[in-house]
Amino acid sequence: MARVIGILPNQEQVGGLIDSLRNAGFDRKDMIVSSLFKPFASRQEPEEIAYLKTERDELWQEGTGAYADFLTQYAGQGVAVAVEAPRHEVARIRTIMEQNGAAKIIQD
């Protein structure tokens, strides 16, 4: 499995991305949406970042440090949409994210 995270500059773009991902066959349970507009506390540990709109918290039980560090860099700059999917789907997810206005995309 792989995780792909896209940063969308506008909250209004999130619904379109989620709809596009769902129409492409990805399950909403495999997605996490986290607002980056709410400023992080300056002394907050990356592991304490609250992820919003997740239906499966276990997606982030292991290995959250790298993602939390990544998201901290973009605090105040949009909304993060993360998708967990088989590795062979990564290119398709990236394409969908790009088509829906993702300003930055990372994967593991």
Give the domain range for residue 30. 2-107
If you count them, how many residues does the chain have?
108
Instruction: Read off the pLDDT of residues 9-63 as tens digits, 9 standing for 90 and up.
Output: 988 899 999 999 999 999 998 998 887 765 544 444 444 444 444 445 544 444 4
CATH of the domain at 78: 3.30.70
Could you read off the pLDDT of 77-107 as tens digits, one per residue?
788 899 999 999 999 999 999 999 999 998 8
Q: How many domains does the chain have?
A: 1
> What is the pTM for the complete model shown?
0.72
What lies within 8 Å, CB to CB, of 33 at 6+ separation is 14, 18, 51, 52, 53, 54, 79, 80, 81, 82
